[in-house]
Amino acid sequence: MTQKINLLSNFPTSVFSPFTSLLTAVSVMATFFASLAVAQDTIGQKMTSISVQVTEANGIPVKDVVLTLTPLLPLETPPTRPEKPAIMNQIDKQFAPHVLVVRSGTDISFPNADNLFHHVYSFSPTKQFELKLYKEFTADPLRFEQAGIVDIGCNIHDWMLGYIVVSDSPFYGKTNEEGILDITLPVGEYDIMTWHPQLPELRLFDSASLNVTAAEKYEFKIDSVLSSDDFDEGFGDY
């Protein structure tokens, strides 16, 4: 039988206490720096924000301008996808919101708030589907995996139009009623894409990329006067 012998056991503990203290100190420092590394990884890269304002040639704010920024740098802590489905509602025989922007892989619900029947569909290459929606019936959410533009309509109410913009990037937004959008994102370089339902080829920036180094505000005036997205409601009760 082999016997293990601890040669250090024959020496008084006091002889090794300074050495033991040194090892303890080294261990504590190692733990500290490991924790610091984890903390920095959790915090991620330096964050900043950009603000974009878009107006028509006559100064009227332009809502529903979509901006996506695709990072050209690796993200230390990529934002997680939302757990709850996004909502594309039907209210007063209109899609609400008119433009919905989501990240790829997001589930979208299509509740019907009207007291009548809707038949929502899309033939877009990005996502093709159809849903027959009663007020008392809620269809299961649909998952939108592929990036792109999805035009949606209603087979019964053909004036109903809506748009879903699916982005692979987690950094996106659309202008509000005041024509303003704000995006918080890490410092770095990004490919940019801009889009609007009435201006699908819209290009606001001079370049296809943007180097974000600090908080910045951009103001754009487009050389167009856009029509209203509000449709006449006098189509009867069907």
Res 4: pLDDT: 39
Question: What span, in angstroms and rounded, lies between the C-alpha atoms of 139 and 197?
Answer: 26
Res 27: pLDDT: 45
Instruction: Provide the token pair at 82.
Output: 């939302």
3-state SS, residue 7: helix
Helices (H), the chain: 13-43
Res 228: pLDDT: 73
Question: What span, in angstroms and rounded, lies between the C-alpha atoms of 160 and 75?
Answer: 39
The DSSP output letter for 199 is: B
Phi, psi of 19 (to 5 degrees): -65, -40
Res 76: pLDDT: 77
**pLDDT, averaged in runs of 10, over the chain (238 residues):** 40 45 42 37 72 95 98 82 90 95 96 90 96 77 97 94 97 98 96 96 95 97 80 47
Res 173: pLDDT: 97
